[in-house]
Structure 1
Amino acid sequence: MVNEAGGIKSLGGAKLNLIVSDVQSDTTVTRTETDRLITGNKLSAIHGCYASALTLIASEVCERAHVPIITGSSSDQLNKGRSYTFTPFARASQFAKAQLQMAKLVSDQAKVAVIFENTAFGTSTSNGLKELAPGEGVEIVMFEPYSAGFTDASPLINKVKASGANTLFSLSYLNDLILIVRTVKQVGLNIAINGGSGGFVMPDFYKNVGKAAEGLQGVAHWNHDVNDDAQKVNAEFKKRTGEFAFEYAGGL
């Protein structure tokens, strides 16, 4: 759409040339592929990588090569000691504040269980929750990391059930989140669920859990109806993909 509108006006109508690369959600591939893109092309910038843990690696390569990287990843670590890394989206710690405020809408005596993937995204957001909770008047009754890609969420959810929490914060990517929400429903746990971005904002989450998604709350970086330009982009995105432009697509 930028090219069709005459290119980047501030650069004399320069056209965008998008080179797409798949880092396969792998840390080693992320490093080698970022290096390959930089050495094999005359790049103006890089955008990526969705998962904060991968973006941290890509940004290290970009910093050494003095190539700007623009990312929608939310880890607060991305803003430390980097000069070529640009993060226009909200930080993980900002998600934490919004989640705590939403918890108080559920109960004036919010008791929160926090479960989080032990990666950059989950750790940054959960640490923000722990730090900010006392000032928001929210009690954290459970604080539990887990390893990504687990196949049985029952032990984790049983701990949530035993904690006495009335709200669950699950800081999770897509596949883990699907399993967690399904398990909550299967064990009959009646608890408010609030997510900080991650899998909560992806259409595939709702396709997989169906009615189990009813009543869930989440915090997102961006929404496709934020302004007229965003709505135009969303309309084109939906025309091409059949889906609305969720926040990670909107980041680009």
Structure 2
Amino acid sequence: MTRRSRSLSRRTVLKSGVALTSMLAAPGLLRAEPAPVKVGLLQPISGAFALDGDLARIGAEYAVKEINDAGGIKALGGAKLELVLGDSRSNAEAGAQATEELQSAGVAAVLGGFASGIALTATQTAARYDLPFVVDCAVADTITERGLKNTFRFNPNFSMATDVALKNLVKLNDDAGKPVKTVAIVHEDGLFGSGLAKIMQQKLPSLGFQIVETIAHPTPARDMSNVVLRLRALNPDLIVPSHYFNEFVLMARTLQQQRVRPKGIYAVFGGAASSYRFVNEFPEAAQGVMDCNHWGDPKSPITAKLRETVTAAGKFYAYNTPINYSLMKVFAQAVEKAGSADRAKIIEALAGGEFDSGIMPYGKTKFDAKGQNLSALPLNTQVQGKDIKVIYPADYADAKPVFPING
């Protein structure tokens, strides 16, 4: 070998050594970053329910950041979650369209839905692609009764929630000396309100309550004067309302203005009853209103952090934030269990797994054969002063109920 050949060989080895040292010092050059796991969030970002959609987005984004900051999906080499937002525009048809768009974007699953009508069309659309769909807070029983293997519901349904609400109502009334004997039901005439009213009509009489009338109204509604005039004439001890935010506020304010003072307002999934916007903007109308609704554990430090995040964004805290924070946590656990972003494997993991429920008071989330989380539990809240307090059950309560509020 010539001197020049030996010199070239030595330089080649030295260059190779430098290159190898550089690669060892920067392992990212040896190993590609794992592909992100795209997860769709279907919410009403525009339209009548835009406030709810925005609060849901904040909760989901908070959870995604926590998961990614903690190292991403460990089973996939630290793959990060990538949130893809779908806007249902607050109506069922647009919800189906947005689900199609999320499918085209290549998401591994869709979370959310918010309203029952939107969730019904969106889950049906997702089923055509075997796309996992986990519902956040839509409550119609029918959502999980259609045999759709892709569809799961994190929150309690109509029947589960009314069972809890009525049990707590009986306790509330008994503890106060049974001041409530007559009840008026006021509900929006869509799938949500009508379904809930039907269940209440079936169950209240057997518990010793006389239903004096059931009053339906359209959504949206711009005037509640006729409804309140009818309530004045009926003079029920208790009003059980079931409608969305704007209509709930309109009814409560009209009751206040017309000086109609029942002994209590006891909502089930009340659209404004568990909203700090209602409490802050109309404190007198909100005072004493009770609700049985989705609600995060008030004793969890994460609940306080989420509320601070919402407030810092100039918005009013409500249940949408903790429920979508928790739902994102459940999804991440399902992907870990599946060990894959494959849709079929995620469906299998959701169907057969048991998951921590984030900050929702559900204990362990476990879906039954229909896709319903049977451990889901609503909490009873009451507006007291400038705050919303949990009054039932005792394990989560941070205040005692004030009842009756009038009379």
TM-score > 0.5, shorter chain as reference: yes
The CA deviation at 1:170 is: 0.9
Q: Which residue of 1 aligns with 2:110?
A: 46
Task: Work out the CA distance in 2 between the residues paired with 1:50 and 1:10.
Answer: 30
The superposition leaves residues 102-127 of structure 1 with CA deviations (integer Å, 9 ceiling, x where unpaired) of 44424624311111111222122212
Question: Which secondary structure state, in structure 1, belongs to the residue aligned with residue 277 of structure 2?
Answer: helix
Aligned twin of 1:231: 303
1:56 corresponds to which residue?
A: 120
Aligned to 1:205: 278
CA radius of gyration, larger in? 2
Query: Taking structure 1 as the reference length, what is the TM-score of the superposition?
Result: 0.89
Q: What is the letter of the counterpart of residue 220 of structure 1? A: N
Shift of 1:26: 2.3
Runs of at least 5 residues in structure 1 that lack an aligned partner in the other structure: none
Amino acid of the residue matched to residue 165 of structure 2?
A: Q
**Corresponding residue to 2:254 among 160, 175, 183:** 183
* Equivalent-residue separation in structure 1 for 2:158 and 2:310 (angstroms): 28
Q: d(CA) in 2 for partners of 1:245 and 1:2?
A: 22
Matched, 1:98 2:132: no
Deviation of the 1:92 alpha carbon: 1.7
Q: 1:13 aligned to 2:85? A: no
| Partner Cα separation in structure 2 for residue 138 and residue 179 of structure 1 | 26
Q: Select the residue among 53, 68, 71 that pairs with 2:132.
A: 68
- 1:21 shift after superposition: 2.2
Match of 2:224 among 153, 166, 188: 153
1:176 CA displacement: 0.6
Deviation per residue, 1:159-205 (Å, 9 max, x gap): 22222311111101011111000011111111111112233222222
Counterpart of 2:50 in structure 1 is none
Letter in 2 for 1:41: A
Alignment check: 8 A CA contact 2:256 2:285 kept: yes
CA displacement at 1:241 relative to structure 2: 2.7
The one-letter code sitting in structure 2 at the alignment partner of 1:218 is: D
Cα deviation 1:70-120 (Å, max 9, x = unaligned): 112111111111221111111122332333344442462431111111122
**CA distance in structure 1 between the partners assigned to 2:115 and 2:213 by the alignment:** 25
Percentage identity across paired residues of the two chains: 24
Q: Aligned with 2:214: secondary structure?
A: strand
Q: For 1:243 and 1:225, how far apart are their aligned partners in 2?
A: 19
Using the TM superposition, give the Cα deviation of residue 227 of structure 1 relative to its aligned residue in structure 2, in angstroms: 3.7
CA–CA distance in 2 between the matches of 1:245 and 1:188? 28
Partners of 1:232 and 1:151 in 2: CA distance? 35
Cα offset, 1:234, TM superposition? 2.1
Q: Which residue of 1 aligns with 2:142?
A: 77
Is the alpha carbon distance of 1:52 and 1:46 closer, same or farther for their aligned partners in structure 2, counting shifts above 3 Å?
same
Q: Deviation string for 1:197-241 (max 9, x for gaps)?
A: 23322222223322211111011222242545x437526634753
Show structure 2 runs of 5+ residues with no match: 1-65, 325-407
The residue that corresponds to 1:117 in the other structure is 188
Pair 1:138 & 2:204 matched: no
Aligned counterparts of 1:239 and 1:178: Cα–Cα separation in 2: 21
Q: CA RMSD in A?
A: 2.2
Higher RCO, 1 vs 2 (CA within 8 Å, ≥6 residues apart) = 2
Letter in 1 for 2:112: G
CA 195–242 in structure 1, closer or farther in 2 if over 3 Å, else same: same
Does residue 219 of the first structure (1) align with residue 292 of the second (2)?
A: yes
